[in-house]
Amino acid sequence: MKTPRFLLCLILTVALPSSATPQTAPGFVQPFAKTQMVAAANPLAADAGLEMLRAGGSAVDAAIAVQLVLGLVEPESSGIGGGAFMLLFDPKTKKTTSFDGREVAPSSARPDMFLDAGGKPRTKPDAIPGGLSVGIPGVIGMLEMAHQKHGKLPWARLFQPAIKLAEDGFPVGPKLARTIRNFKRGANMPDIKARFYHADGTPLQQGEIYKNADYADTLQKIAAGGAAAFYTGEIAQAIVGAVRAAPVNPGNMTLDDLANFKALEREPVCGPYRMWRVCSMGPPSSGGVAIVQILGMLQRFPSSQLQPGTLSEVHMRAQASRLAYADRVKFIADPAFVKVPVKGLVDKDYIASRAALIDPHRDMGTATAGNPPEKHAAFAPQRSPSNHGTSHMTLVDKTGQVVAMTTSVESVFGSNVMAKGFFLNNTLTDFSLDPMLNGLPVANAPAAGKRPLSAMSPTIVFDRGGDFLLSVGSPGGPAIIGYVTQTVVAMLDGGKTPAEAITLPRQLNLNSPTRLERSAVNDALEPQLKAMGHAVTVVMGEGSGLHGIRKVKGGYIGGADPRRDGVVIGD
């Protein structure tokens, strides 16, 4: 799949401005680097990251440049109108920290905001488009915070590749073209129609040149004025205007809501897996807790039973996942609003008690949440949402600084509404649309100033000595947790390279039927799993977009998910 695209890049060189053609395409076919590496969802975005690393930038600097280009070339999946989580390993202190740029609900948000007149939750397709689902975008605030603490290059320098590409144009990539073509609902939304459709009603095709002068102008302003130029002034006014004048579901965001946004630095959630240590994002993401729980349960079984794609591995991982997903939907939400029993949920004895529920020979059926040893309020488990507007990148710089960043506009093209050249997220529909279930409040109910529950899981694994070993993350909504754990187990227990682990056919369980991605391996597993009591759903292609890097002797190797347009490049 990759070689033809690589060839296409070469062919396009003839007709396009040179900046719009990936400069480092060879990295694409030889993902090994000695000193620095970028794994990201689009070749142009990865190029921007490597350009910063080559200019002496840190992994944080490079991640910022990657994000700004992604917002142009992969706008269906992430951008400055969305939110993100960044996990960062600092080799100087050997500490891992995380930055929370999750969107925040505006002051007008209410628990019943997604209920219809009869008090029933609206459907997702009904609630997503327009202004009501838009949270205060967190990406720019978070990137500025990370840059102030860990950046080396001037802030404005990081904007240059994206500004140039937005002005000169770039060839529409396979995934963007496919997304526009398949996203029929978008054709009715004026911003999508104006940007991605020709006057005759045909969608933009792969390879056609797309420019975005509004985005270039927006980036110029943020480059010059910092995050303040995004959260106040002309850009903030455009965001508020777009939310309030949305063609459907107008919202009530205010200029004060934007001016009050604050990114946060948080402790990541870490735990052991055999001889390794795994860190990922804590609440408001459920990723860290769930991954530490799943791996904590799995480490009770020998590696020999966890070889990738074997019946025992798929079964055991499905069981541990069921238990973790059951806890996820009950206990995890914005910790500023509910007491999340993080310590209790990753407590060694609690995890052991959950692992004891696993029968190695029989599917347990729907798991229920446990009773972690930490006080918390009584909550009802929410129904789990699922979406597809996310991107993941992993980067390592010359000093060994590692960034794993998962970034999202939530659904495809977010809320489908644009302000000044970028899409606004629909992340408020990551709240439970039901604020109450079975007479109990839902921890992740909407509220003013609250961050919705996420599953985004930028993850870093350390070796016995506490040094960086590998990092991975993915889009995919709640399935992210399953994608990441499968990949980590395949690398650690199965000895797979990142590229091999990322390419494996997916099997996962979100505490519902076991999901198998159509493939020869899974076709063979299906009857065997059914014989063990699994209900099975077969899906044609999973929505993972895993990008990862692993340290090896003499350098790094990486992997990019063939399900998307990603690349791994480095020096």
Contact residues for ligand GLU, defined by CB under 6 A: 387-390, 408, 410, 427, 430, 454-456, 475-477, 480
Output 114 or 350, the one with its CB closest to ligand GLU. Answer: 114
348 φ/ψ angles, rounded to the nearest 5 degrees? -55, -45
Residue 432: CB minimum distance to ligand GLU, A = 13
Output 28 or 413, the one with its CB closest to ligand GLU. Answer: 413
Residue 389: CB minimum distance to ligand GLU, A = 5
Q: Examine the residue annotation and report whether 218 is marked as an active-site residue of this protein.
A: no
Output 302 or 541, the one with its CB closest to ligand GLU. Answer: 541
Asked if 183 and 413 count as a contact pair (C-beta separation under 8 A), the reply is yes
Output 22 or 476, the one with its CB closest to ligand GLU. Answer: 476
Residue 418: CB minimum distance to ligand GLU, A = 18
Residue 328: CB minimum distance to ligand GLU, A = 11
Asked if 382 and 338 count as a contact pair (C-beta separation under 8 A), the reply is no
Residue 416: CB minimum distance to ligand GLU, A = 15
* Alpha-carbon gap, residue 416 to 19, rounded angstroms: 28
How far CA 305 is from CA of 301, 374, 507, in Å, comes to 7, 32, 16
* Alpha-carbon gap, residue 165 to 540, rounded angstroms: 34
Residue 40: CB minimum distance to ligand GLU, A = 15
C-alpha dihedral over 51, 56, 60, 61, to 10 degrees? -60
Residue 545: CB minimum distance to ligand GLU, A = 8
Asked if 231 and 259 count as a contact pair (C-beta separation under 8 A), the reply is yes
Output 124 or 152, the one with its CB closest to ligand GLU. Answer: 124
* Alpha-carbon gap, residue 523 to 565, rounded angstroms: 26
Output 407 or 503, the one with its CB closest to ligand GLU. Answer: 407
Residue 332: CB minimum distance to ligand GLU, A = 11
- 472 CB-side CA count, 13 A: 36
* Sequence-separated (6 or more) residues with CB below 8 Å from residue 319: 297, 357, 358, 359, 363, 364, 509
Nearest residue to 204 (alpha-carbon basis) of 174, 180, 240, 170: 180
Neighbours of 78 (CB within 10 A): 32
Output 53 or 326, the one with its CB closest to ligand GLU. Answer: 326
HEC secondary structure over 197-265: ECCCCCECCCCCEECCHHHHHHHHHHHHHCCHHHHCHHHHHHHHHHHHCCCCCCCCCCHHHHHCCCCEE
Asked if 268 and 283 count as a contact pair (C-beta separation under 8 A), the reply is no
Tokens of 252: 């009530």
Which one from 21, 96, 218, 390 is the annotated catalytic residue? 390
Residue 480: CB minimum distance to ligand GLU, A = 6
User: Residue type for 464, please?
Assistant: R
Nearest residue to 448 (alpha-carbon basis) of 254, 265, 286, 283: 254
Residue carrying structure tokens 């991982």:
317
Asked if 253 and 427 count as a contact pair (C-beta separation under 8 A), the reply is no
473 φ/ψ angles, rounded to the nearest 5 degrees? -170, 175
* Alpha-carbon gap, residue 527 to 562, rounded angstroms: 27
Output 401 or 416, the one with its CB closest to ligand GLU. Answer: 416
Output 125 or 302, the one with its CB closest to ligand GLU. Answer: 125
Asked if 159 and 80 count as a contact pair (C-beta separation under 8 A), the reply is no
Residues with catalytic function? 390
